[in-house]
Chain A
Amino acid sequence: MEDTMRFKRFLKEENLPTPWCPGCGNGQILKSACQAFEELNFDKRQVVIVSGIGCAGRSAGFFDMDSVHTAHGRAIPVAEGIKTANENLKVVVLSGDGDLLGIGGNHLLHATRRNTPISIICYSNEIYGMTGGQVSPTTRLNTKTVTTPEGNKDCPVNVQAIIKAHNCFYARSTTFHLAHLKKSIIEALRHPGLSFVDVICQCIVNNGRRVGFKDAFEMLMYYKNNYKINDNTELLKENEIGITRWTSA
């Protein structure tokens, strides 16, 4: 076997294939997280995966290590409980934007305030995919969804501002920029406090098609053309991805 697939040792292959739709970006993030674990040579018995509810919430079940699939929005407090109880564990939260920023938004705000050393990887597909494509906290202005047929009138949540307000680690990447995504996750896992990786990923079935993309590849090309990498800034612009500079207070 080529070395490129060594990350598979972090997955329970008997549980594959994943339940996600064809073209969904979630699998890409799952893979990138495993590649980051592999690169950092993590011990499987030292890592605990916590997830919430939704498409992304199903991620936890695929890891070949202890994992907790919590209630909707509650991945962060569960992760904080685990980390506080056993500081030697590396606690990684994998969940979606609706889970972490919508129903669980308050927990995120307070977890950043406490700066609990956990790593959060947010699958930001800008939609509630599992329930059929309703507007989510990260849906862009004027986007048509099932619940905003005239276009979304509300401003998407500024995640970066929330995370940076309490001087935590923030990185943004996409499922097209895979090398950058892996690097972002690695940096997040290395960070001594709370780290948040905002991964823009495609939901072709319940979002992409409605806004005019033909297939997942087109969405990936849109990410390629729309986002510029900038790893040397304190605050990312809307069309930038990058690992923001962080200074220890």
Chain B
Amino acid sequence: MSKQLLQGNQAIVIAAERAGLGFFAGYPITPASEILHELVGRKYIKVMQMEDEIASINACIGASLAGLKVMTATSGPGFSLMQESIGLAHMMEVPMVIVNVQRVGPSTGMPTFPAQGDIIQARHGSHGDYFPIIFYPNSVEEIYRHTFSAFNAAEESLSPVLLLSDGYISHLYETVELTNYPVVQRGRPPLGAGNRHFTGLTHKDSCPVTSSPEVHRTLLAHFQKKCMQTCANYNFYEYIENDTADTLLIAFGALSRAIYNFKDKYGVFRPIRLFPMIEELKDFASRYEYIVVLEMNTGQYCYEVESLLHREVELLALPGGKIDIKEISDKLQELRQASSKQVTIN
């Protein structure tokens, strides 16, 4: 064991290498480029700098089917380009890790500023139905640890797993204990071992079936079951109970680091596995009168929380890459006052 001062992106690379990464394909993009830089020249990792993010994720699909553990890293604009092939990877059951270091969008936005604007895209970005596993750590130590989780969950579920980060966590330097976490190996034989047909078409027993609703439903149920079974082993969250508080704050990633400041007055819940959502939240939320979701976007996870809890959830939207404790404190108070006004009106 050893301690090292690492940048978030470096921590991802070291953890990925220890988790057995064999192939990386990527395209330069701020603020994820350091991952590509750090990977070049490592002995057991084949690195391809592709012509775009579409080629990157597709090369990853090929290399993963050929038996290697694969990863790609990007930010919002590149992540948007990858969406179609993320669906393909789910359909063909291709394990891989996709790192999305979020920056302010839409479009080119503010490339060097952190954001949390890709939450819905990460969950629902590709067309059709699929069930992704998504982790979003909030420190360098944690991103090191959950890079292992992402690789292991990918292998267990045979599906692409998303590791979300943001411009803040990825560029932060912290000391990391370089623990060797357990690693899951691939169960499925690589390409060249049989006569399997991997296809993006609805299929049954490696044969395309494009006109049977039953076959499609069975396939979706299989994907969902696989995802839920895997998730049972990756139930990561942080909950700070506060008996005296009437409000539960929910935040994740960079912003959640600021929320610790309010733990004396509020309960705090931080999902590390954003999707599938942490079921325990239902129980925790039932202990509070109000739920506030704080996000560096204009409200993406808040809708998901609302539909999980079947109750009203308030949003504190903080887009634009700014994390200011005074601002958050003021806005929380405003929100509370507004709610109490509403109560009197009603």
- A63 to B59: give the CA distance in the assembly, Å: 22
Tell me if B319 counts as interface (CB < 8 A to partner A). no
- A60 to B197: give the CA distance in the assembly, Å: 8
Residues of chain B with a CB closer than 8 A to A18's CB = none
- A70 to B54: give the CA distance in the assembly, Å: 12
Q: Is A84 within 8 A of B63, CB to CB?
A: yes
43-90 of chain B: CB within 8 A of chain A: 46, 48, 50-52, 54-56, 58-68, 70, 84-85, 88
Tell me if B109 counts as interface (CB < 8 A to partner A). no
Count contacts between A and B, CB distance < 8 Å: 134
Q: Smallest CB–CB gap between A43 and chain B, Å?
A: 9
Q: Smallest CB–CB gap between A45 and chain B, Å?
A: 5
Q: Smallest CB–CB gap between B81 and chain A, Å?
A: 11
Tell me if B92 counts as interface (CB < 8 A to partner A). yes
Tell me if A67 counts as interface (CB < 8 A to partner B). yes
Partner of B200, one of A50, A70, A85, A109: A70
- A84 to B46: give the CA distance in the assembly, Å: 8
186-202 of chain B: CB within 8 A of chain A: 190-201
Tell me if A215 counts as interface (CB < 8 A to partner B). no
Per-residue contact bits, chain B 176-212, to A (CB 8 Å; 1 contact, 0 not) = 0000000000000011111111111100000110000
Residues of chain B with a CB closer than 8 A to A58's CB = 208
Q: Is B55 within 8 A of A77, CB to CB?
A: yes
Q: Is A89 within 8 A of B192, CB to CB?
A: yes
Tell me if B23 counts as interface (CB < 8 A to partner A). yes
21-66 of chain A: CB within 8 A of chain B: 44-48, 50, 53, 58, 60-61, 63-66
Q: Is B58 within 8 A of A77, CB to CB?
A: yes
Q: Is A86 within 8 A of B191, CB to CB?
A: yes
Q: Smallest CB–CB gap between B194 and chain A, Å?
A: 6
Residues of chain B with a CB closer than 8 A to A53's CB = 200
Tell me if A203 counts as interface (CB < 8 A to partner B). no
71-113 of chain A: CB within 8 A of chain B: 71, 74, 77-86, 88-89, 106-107, 109-110
Q: Smallest CB–CB gap between A30 and chain B, Å?
A: 14
Tell me if B25 counts as interface (CB < 8 A to partner A). yes
Q: Give the interface residue-count category, chain B.
A: 35 or more
Q: Smallest CB–CB gap between A224 and chain B, Å?
A: 35
Q: Give the interface residue-count category, chain A.
A: 35 or more
- A57 to B68: give the CA distance in the assembly, Å: 25
Residues of chain A with a CB closer than 8 A to B46's CB = 84-85
Residues of chain A with a CB closer than 8 A to B201's CB = 69
Residues of chain A with a CB closer than 8 A to B62's CB = 50, 68, 77-85
Tell me if A142 counts as interface (CB < 8 A to partner B). no
Q: Is B67 within 8 A of A86, CB to CB?
A: yes
Tell me if B299 counts as interface (CB < 8 A to partner A). no
- A15 to B201: give the CA distance in the assembly, Å: 15
Tell me if A190 counts as interface (CB < 8 A to partner B). no
Chain A residue nearest to B51 in the complex (CB): A110
- A80 to B84: give the CA distance in the assembly, Å: 18
Q: Is A77 within 8 A of B195, CB to CB?
A: no
Q: Smallest CB–CB gap between A113 and chain B, Å?
A: 9
Q: Is A70 within 8 A of B58, CB to CB?
A: yes
Per-residue contact bits, chain A 106-140, to B (CB 8 Å; 1 contact, 0 not) = 11011000000000000000000000000000000
Q: Is B195 within 8 A of A64, CB to CB?
A: yes
Take A60-B197, A71-B84, A81-B66 as given contacts and tell me if A46 and B207 are in contact as well, using a CB distance cutoff of 8 Å.
no
Q: Is B198 within 8 A of A110, CB to CB?
A: no
Q: Is A80 within 8 A of B59, CB to CB?
A: yes
Q: Smallest CB–CB gap between A46 and chain B, Å?
A: 6
Tell me if A12 counts as interface (CB < 8 A to partner B). yes
Residues of chain A with a CB closer than 8 A to B56's CB = 77
- A19 to B70: give the CA distance in the assembly, Å: 34
Tell me if B22 counts as interface (CB < 8 A to partner A). yes
- A106 to B88: give the CA distance in the assembly, Å: 20
Q: Is B59 within 8 A of A77, CB to CB?
A: yes
Residues of chain A with a CB closer than 8 A to B52's CB = 106
- A77 to B48: give the CA distance in the assembly, Å: 11
- A83 to B58: give the CA distance in the assembly, Å: 13
Residues of chain A with a CB closer than 8 A to B65's CB = 68, 78, 81-82
Residues of chain B with a CB closer than 8 A to A79's CB = 62
- A74 to B55: give the CA distance in the assembly, Å: 7
Give residues in B with beta carbon < 8 Å to A.
22-23, 25, 46, 48, 50-52, 54-56, 58-68, 70, 84-85, 88, 92, 190-201, 207-208
Give residues in A with beta carbon < 8 Å to B.
12, 15, 44-48, 50, 53, 58, 60-61, 63-71, 74, 77-86, 88-89, 106-107, 109-110
Q: List 5 A-B contacts (CB under 8 A).
A: A48-B191, A77-B50, A80-B48, A81-B62, A107-B55
7 closest Cβ contacts across the A-B interface? A81-B62, A81-B59, A85-B66, A85-B63, A69-B199, A77-B58, A78-B62
